A and B are shown apart, each in its own frame.
Chain A
Amino acid sequence: SQQGEEDPQALSIQEGENATMNCSYKTSINNLQWYRQNSGRGLVHLILIRSNEREKHSGRLRVTLDTSKKSSSLLITASRAADTASYFCVTGSSNTGKLIFGQGTTLQVKP
């Protein structure tokens, strides 16, 4: 399975702190995506990192990818209460577009 497995399952921090979530996967990938889901809502794409990239930034988000260890991390800097959500690491097939979602990390940012 190419399913991403997130760690930790739950994370609680204070506003302003950084939040780091990790992901491991099992097979070779072309790219890896991170999605966010606010409670009761649909998922929103955050960032995609390709297999030939090691690090990517988007605003307060920083994603790293280590294909030798089959792992990725998502760092959210200077967290805000609005960052409270579940975060999913996602791998999939570039031929079909089929994505496999893990169980996600639930992040709570306390104001």
Chain B
Amino acid sequence: DAGVIQSPRHEVTEMGQEVTLRCKPISGHNSLFWYRQTMMRGLELLIYFNNNVPIDDSGMPEDRFSAKMPNASFSTLKIQPSEPRDSAVYFCASSFLAIDSYEQYFGPGTRLTVT
């Protein structure tokens, strides 16, 4: 298994531009999570999906952020318009949620720099 795949690995963009981050979870997993990590705020959960349905998006910073999961094998996190304070590493993780078993598998992350 290739693990969780994220693209791009690095993204540099100018303020105001639209940014789309992509994630392919591990096949067979039924939950997907988007995190953001910065030195100041640590690792923050932005949104997560169970069976492709968004369950909790309370961590999404503001309306500029949106996430979709059109099918079990693909998810996107979009920032429009981007701002310098969005610069961070964004991680996608997936898991198979079962009773008492929910180890998460993380992708390598996308390092976003907004200038």
Beta-carbon contact of B108 and A96 below 8 Å: no
Beta-carbon contact of A92 and B102 below 8 Å: yes
B: number of interface residues (CB 8 Å): 25
Contacts of A43 in B (CB 8 A): 43, 91, 93, 104, 106
Report the nearest A residue to B59, measured CB to CB: A98
- B38-52 contacts to A, CB under 8 A, are 42-43, 45, 48, 50
Count CB-based A-B contacts (< 8 Å): 60
B77 on interface, CB distance cutoff 8 Å: no
- Distance (whole angstroms) from the CB of A39 to the closest CB of chain B: 11
B25 on interface, CB distance cutoff 8 Å: no
Report the nearest B residue to A103, measured CB to CB: B42
Interface residues of B (CB under 8 A from A): 4, 31, 33, 42-43, 45, 48, 50, 55-56, 89, 91, 93, 95, 97, 99-100, 102-109
